[in-house]
Amino acid sequence: MIRTACRYILIILLSTLSSLYLFEYFLVYSAKNIEQNKAKIFEEENGKKYESRSKIVVFNELKKKNPKLTSTLVPKHFAISSKQKVIPLGGLSKSKTLHCNENGYFSIFESDRYGFNNPDNEWDNEEIEFFLVGDSFTIGECVNRPYDFGSVLRKLSKKSVLNLGYSSNGPMLQFAALKEYLDENVNNILWFYFEDNDLQDLNDTMNSKILNSYLDNKEFSQSLRSKQKEIDIIVEKTVKEHLKYFQSREEKKKKNQILRFIRLDKTKDKLKVLLNNNNKKEKFNKEVFLKFKKILEHSKILAEKNNTELYFIYLPSYQRFSKFGFDGDLNQRDELISMVKSLDIKIIDVFTEIEKKEIDYKSLFPFGSYGHYNIKGYDEISKIIYDKTLNK
């Protein structure tokens, strides 16, 4: 009886283990197949070699030709650190900055005097038509200038545009950017809201003492414009630390390919994503929503005081169109839009506009799949935003 039970347990264990390794092999094979398909599409359309190398490998190669090359680093990193005395809102100033790869190449931009993705002379214009705040979509994740929102709006309006977006910036950091860098010469503020993770970014930074000071004290400022040398020192040091970490990870990755398969790394990563999505399906609590409402209230007051029009740009994610994998932010669309309307803030709902125009949503994303927008995506959405602001 005991032997039979042990035999069954052993069979179950072996079957489970075999299934897990078959699934791991499937994930490894699928990832390679997807990359090969992307490479084929990219090379056929562009006549250039598809970039499959990791960021750290590309960075090290480019660094040999340009010793001053730097990399992007999310300001949220500083916001969630209790030890931080200054929270930079941009990257390293006036530097060639390696960004990311979703379209078959690594995007690179020359940062302006405050570390943002703008031609530096934009700050010298007497009048600014559009002042952008937002996250990775706003900065123009994984496309080069002149294909990001700021550049396309600059071309459409033939006027000056300042883009203060940065990766992982949530509402707390966006408001801080307004307080620090908004001038009286701005005609329109474009507040970009990305439905997939902005509430999560807000939740992550809600306890920042410095960021809360912007809300609690209308006179508060970090005086970041006058601290760019200090900011550059902080950012450069942190970027080096992060690159060192990724270099170490890259070396381990090369050495441990077989070990990674034995450890079922891809299977575990997939499970983590599923678990995180399940956790996100719970609605964010009232505290997060009330904080967001307070931030938008203060932003509206700041805009009115500045005689500037404020627009709330609702950016849809790939999941919104594909109707797959909705998480907590996505499920709160109606509640959020209702809240913005209650504040009498103008809304440009990009999702609705794309559906009205019957644009193929897959054509807006890298290789028709999940990610940030591609060149066409940034272009089409910029046109929607520009047309809507013309018809105030």
Contact between residue 337 and residue 377 where contact means Cβ atoms under 8 Å apart: no
Distance of alpha carbon 227 from the chain centroid: 25
For residue 8, tell me if it sits in a domain. Answer: no
pLDDT of 325 higher than 60: no
**Is 208 in the same domain as 227?**
yes
Q: Could you give the number of structural domains in the chain?
A: 2
Mean pLDDT, residues 178-184 taken together: 96
Cα separation, 345 vs 310, in Å, equals 7
**pLDDT of the residue at 379:** 98
205: helix, strand or coil: helix
pLDDT of 277 higher than 60: no
**Is 126 in the same domain as 30?**
no
pLDDT tens digits for range 333-389: 999 999 999 999 999 999 999 999 999 999 999 999 989 999 999 999 999 999 999
For residue 330, tell me if it sits in a domain. Answer: yes
Closest CA to 221 of 86, 75, 73: 86
pLDDT tens digits for range 201-225: 999 999 999 999 999 999 999 999 9
For residue 272, tell me if it sits in a domain. Answer: no
**Is 103 in the same domain as 35?**
no
For residue 13, tell me if it sits in a domain. Answer: no
Contact between residue 191 and residue 312 where contact means Cβ atoms under 8 Å apart: yes
Query: At 290, which amino acid appears?
Result: L
| Residues contacting residue 230 through CB under 8 Å, at least 6 positions apart | 86
For residue 3, tell me if it sits in a domain. Answer: no
**Is 137 in the same domain as 220?**
yes
**Is 92 in the same domain as 201?**
yes
Secondary structure in 3-state letters for 1-52:
CHHHHHHHHHHHHHHHHHHHHHHHHHHHHHHHHHHHHHHHHHHHHHCCCCCC
**Is 175 in the same domain as 314?**
yes
Tell me the pLDDT band of 281, cut-offs 50, 70 and 90: very low
Tell me the pLDDT band of 283, cut-offs 50, 70 and 90: low
Distance of alpha carbon 322 from the chain centroid: 20
For residue 383, tell me if it sits in a domain. Answer: yes
**Is 165 in the same domain as 26?**
no
**Is 208 in the same domain as 77?**
yes
pLDDT tens digits for range 25-43: 666 677 788 888 899 999 9
Mean pLDDT, residues 130-154 taken together: 98
239 vs 271: which has the higher pLDDT: 239
pLDDT of 247 higher than 70: yes
9 vs 127: which has the higher pLDDT: 127
Secondary structure letter of residue 94 according to DSSP: T
For residue 381, the enclosing domain spans 55-244+277-390
**pLDDT of the residue at 331:** 66
Place of tokens 């709006």: 153
For residue 49, tell me if it sits in a domain. Answer: no
For residue 6, tell me if it sits in a domain. Answer: no
Tell me the pLDDT band of 269, cut-offs 50, 70 and 90: confident
**Is 32 in the same domain as 73?**
no
43 vs 327: which has the higher pLDDT: 43
Q: What percent of the chain shows pLDDT beyond 70?
A: 87
* Radius of gyration of the chain, Cα coordinates, nearest whole angstrom: 23
Contact between residue 209 and residue 64 where contact means Cβ atoms under 8 Å apart: no
Place of tokens 């952008």: 132
**Is 198 in the same domain as 320?**
yes
| Residues contacting residue 307 through CB under 8 Å, at least 6 positions apart | 184
pLDDT tens digits for range 288-305: 999 999 999 999 999 999
pLDDT of 262 higher than 80: no
Q: What's this model's pTM, rounded to 2 decimal places? A: 0.90
pLDDT tens digits for range 82-127: 677 899 999 999 999 999 999 999 999 999 999 999 999 999 999 9
**pLDDT of the residue at 11:** 76
**Is 283 in the same domain as 352?**
yes
Q: What angle do CA 383, 388, 392 make, to 5 degrees?
A: 150
**pLDDT of the residue at 120:** 98
pLDDT of 330 higher than 60: no
> Strand order in 96-98's β-sheet?
70-71, 96-98, 108-110
Q: Write the burial class of residue 360 (CB in 10 Å: 0-12 exposed, 13-18 middle, 19+ buried).
A: exposed
pLDDT of 326 higher than 70: no
Chain mean pLDDT for the chain: 89
162 vs 248: which has the higher pLDDT: 162
CATH code for the domain of 125? 3.40.50.1110
**Is 85 in the same domain as 35?**
no
